[in-house]
Structure 1
Amino acid sequence: MASSAREPIYSAEQIKIPPQLPEILKDFAKHIIRTQPTDILKESAEYFTKQAALNSSPRKSSSASTKLSELQLESIYNRFGSPQPSGGSPPTLINRKDIQEACEEIGIGSQVVADIITLGAWGDRIPWLKFWALSVAAGYTSLIPTLHKVASILSGTSITKPEPGVADDSKPPLSRLPTAPFKEIFTFLAERDDGIGPDKTAKVLADLGEEKDVELSSFLDKLDAALSA
Structure 2
Amino acid sequence: MAQVEQYAKAAIQTQAPDLLQWSADYFTAVACGDTPPVKQGQERGPWSKWKDLTPELLKVLHQRVGGRLIISADELAHMWKSLNLPKDLFASVMDVGGFTEEIEWLKFLALSCSPIGVSIAKTLKIICEVLSGDHNGPPRIPFSTFQFLYTYIAEMDGEISASHVSRMLNYIEQEIIGPDGLIKVDDFTQNPWVRLE
Contact 1:94 1:126 in 2 (8 A): yes
Distance across 1 between alignment mates of 2:191 and 2:145: 16
- Deviation above 4 Å: which 4+ runs of structure 1? 209-212, 221-224
Structure 1, unaligned runs of 5 or more: 1-63, 83-89, 159-172
Contact 1:200 1:226 in 2 (8 A): no
Question: What TM-score does the superposition give when structure 2 sets the normalisation length?
Answer: 0.62
Tell me which of the two structures has the higher relative contact order, counting C-alpha pairs closer than 8 angstroms and 6 or more residues apart: 2
SS in 2 for 1:117: helix
- State percent identity of aligned pairs: 22
Distance across 2 between alignment mates of 1:114 and 1:179: 30
Question: What TM-score does the superposition give when structure 1 sets the normalisation length?
Answer: 0.54
Structure possessing the higher radius of gyration over alpha carbons: 1
Contact 1:94 1:127 in 2 (8 A): yes
Query: Which residue of structure 1 lines up, in the alignment, with residue 167 of structure 2?
Result: 203
- The answer to whether structure 1 residue 74 and structure 2 residue 59 are counterparts is yes
- The answer to whether structure 1 residue 95 and structure 2 residue 72 are counterparts is yes
Deviations 1:75-100 (A, max 9, x none): 12222253xxxxxxx2x321110010
Shift in Å, 1:157 = 6.1
Structure whose residues are more often helix by fraction: 2
Task: Pick the aligned partner of 1:65 from 49, 72, 84.
Answer: 49
Distance across 1 between alignment mates of 2:150 and 2:196: 15
Q: 1:75-224 counterparts in 2 under 5 A?
A: 75-80=60-65, 82=67, 90=68, 92-156=69-133, 173-174=137-138, 176-206=140-170, 207-208=172-173, 213-221=181-189
> Cα RMSD (Å) of the superposition?
2.8
Per the alignment, do residues 208 and 149 of structure 1 end up closer, same or farther by CA in structure 2, a change over 3 Å counting?
farther
SS in 2 for 1:119: helix
